[in-house]
Amino acid sequence: MNERTLDLIRDVQDYPQPGVLFKDITPLLGDPDGFAAMVDEIAGLFEADKIVGIEARGFILAAPVAYKARAGFVPVRKKGKLPAETLEESYDLEYGSATIEVHRDAFAPGDRVLIVDDVLATGGTAAATVELVRRAGADVVGVAVLMELAFLEGRARLPGVEVRALLTV
Ligand code: 5GP
């Protein structure tokens, strides 16, 4: 991604709590060329049968990536949101803790799965999602994010997983 794209991601100080500098991707999502470039680039990174999107901003990227790649889309959601039988994982966040779920039957055995999210921060969300996908019987081919906050060392929580970021700060 180019410098202009980076300029479309806005820093919001003290969100969602004091001391946190939040990367707001909504100006980029609202830019026709920026949004298309982001989706095209992520869709070209990996070969996959299914694209997992992590609620909620991950859905915005993962769904068009799945469409473009002619792959299936699988939502990973916060606990209590999926209607059928689920697998769940709990993990620590940069701010707080969370439990996420996926439908137990979301994957065929051996499906090649790409996990997509907007931002890789501490890596807790992505690591829990990798665990869920593997427990559901599929293979994780990689994790793709729009932006990696490298100073939080999220990759360290994803040993053996190929992580690609379009932008790194
Ligand atoms: P992690 O689990 O890697 O610490 O946090 C990543 C998750 O929190 C992602 O689902 C991402 O959407 C959200 N997140 C954490 N920090 C930021 C941020 O600065 N900007 C955005 N857009 N999302 C963030």
ipTM of this model?
Answer: 0.98
Would you say residue 109 lies in a domain?
yes
Q: Encode the chain (169 residues) as per-residue pLDDT tens digits.
A: 777 888 999 999 999 889 999 999 999 999 999 999 999 999 999 999 999 999 999 999 999 999 999 999 999 999 999 999 999 999 987 667 899 999 999 999 999 999 999 999 999 999 999 999 999 999 999 999 999 999 999 999 999 999 999 999 9
**Are the CB atoms for 51 and 142 separated by under 8 Å?**
no
What separation in Å is there between the alpha carbon of 114 and the centre of ligand 1? 18
Would you say residue 34 lies in a domain?
no
C-alpha dihedral sign at 99, 54, 122, 130: positive
Q: Please, which residues bridge with residue 50 across strands?
A: 72, 113
What separation in Å is there between the alpha carbon of 24 and the centre of ligand 1? 10
The verdict on the CB of residue 148 being under 6 Å from ligand 1 is: no
57 is catalytic: yes
**73: containing domain:** 46-168
What CATH number is given to the structural domain containing 129? 3.40.50.2020
Q: How many domains does the chain have?
A: 1
Pocket test residue of 8, 11, 118 for ligand 1, highest count of atoms within 8 A of CB: 118
